[in-house]
Chains A and B, each alone.
Chain A
């Protein structure tokens, strides 16, 4: 059982670094996720982990944050947002960008990359419609470990069976030992970058379509508002934001409003600040 002062120390650190809110009823998460971190560093307990962190062990603090913020992800999660993307949002964005023929899509808090690659697969399936277009997909996450997995595009048999249609597995994956690796052409369509949603986002540039699903649920109200405000500054006035099924902007931020008849999709409210200029590739951390 974690001592109250150790719990408070961890909760404060996680809130500051990632926005993650851990309440006492979720203390079991600290036990289950930090025990492997302790073991990896030959520490006997989570108390020892905390003691070492109090001695300003930056790399340990980073590992602890990563372990706590790593969340599960799967291909075509919830299905409907991907149908909405293909059938409603993409055609609208293409119509408004017809002169520029360029679209930037952001998978925020992308974890091990399944959402970004699901979008890449949909774009590949619609390649004829997108001929002559430049489409960028950027996946960002706070966890270096998850980003490494995303870049490798290597998934277990279990992971490729949750949400991924079998035709897409055959078409876009190759078997590599007991795992499945996503095709190099799809890996080439997505850039993964380490980024903390609580930090300045301007270096990422402007995005026409933002997926930030099942992320806000882990934050408290002020952090949700701050993240939504930050995201809104990275979008043009006619951009679209996808949130998770259990998330909303209502009562949290007046910078976005729901798109009528499109559950889970939001656009900027009139008067929200215009998007930041697109940063040069490689900017930010």
Chain B
């Protein structure tokens, strides 16, 4: 079973994503900001990360840059999931090493389509 780390400061979003990902056959872990996510990744790298952009303590983009520097940090497939929906943010995310990008609001269909695109399903 593949694992996905859900990183979002909204408990509701984490809950919705968790439900969809369980239905898609993933084990999930949760983090409420980039720093918590980074600490979890240092211990154990997940197969995938569903990542919000704007969070307290450490943002999604800063987390991604740090993740990619970790040994084996290029492994996890990172899918941004954020309300930032302009080209500049998307380009910045790709440059930092994001594999896909979901613009909120999202639903199970979009999440499934994106995870399929990046070979997670």
Contacts and interface: CB of A to CB of B under 8 A. Distances in A.
A175 B98 CA distance: 20
B86 to A, nearest CB: 6
A170 interface: yes
A157 B114 contact: no
Contact of A166 (B86, B101, B116): B101
A163 interface: yes
A157 B102 CA distance: 10
Nearest to A158: B110
B94 to A, nearest CB: 7
A170 B91 CA distance: 7
B100 interface: yes
A165 B115 CA distance: 11
A161 interface: yes
A79 B94 CA distance: 21
A73 to B, nearest CB: 14
Interface string B37-68: 00000000000000000000000000000000
* Chain A contact patch, size range: 10 to 19
A175 B110 contact: no
A161 B113 CA distance: 8
A161 B85 CA distance: 11
Contacts of B12: none
B103 interface: yes
Interface string A66-100: 00000000000001000000000000000000000
B109 interface: yes
A163 B109 CA distance: 10
B52 to A, nearest CB: 16
A162 B110 CA distance: 6
A167 interface: yes
A169 interface: yes
B90 A170 contact: yes
A85 to B, nearest CB: 17
Contacts of A165: 100, 117
A79 B116 CA distance: 10
Contact of A167 (B94, B109, B116): B94
B87 A161 contact: no
Interface in A234-268: none
Given A170-B91, A170-B94, A161 B103 contact: yes
A157 B106 CA distance: 10
Of B86, B87, B106, B116, most A-chain CB atoms within 10 Å: B87
B109 A157 contact: no
Contact of B90 (A79, A169, A174): A169
Contacts of A169: 90, 101
Contact of B113 (A157, A162, A174, A175): A162
Interface string A157-184: 1100111011101100011000000000
Nearest to B99: A166
A157 B85 contact: yes
Given A162-B110, A166-B101, 9 more contacts: A157-B103, A161-B103, A163-B113, A166-B90, A166-B98, A169-B90, A170-B90, A175-B85, A175-B86
13 contacts: A158-B110, A161-B102, A161-B103, A161-B106, A161-B113, A162-B109, A162-B113, A163-B117, A165-B117, A167-B94, A170-B87, A170-B90, A174-B87
Question: What 6 A-B pairs come out closest when comparing CB atoms?
Answer: A166-B101, A161-B110, A162-B113, A166-B100, A157-B103, A170-B90
Interface of A: 79, 157-158, 161-163, 165-167, 169-170, 174-175
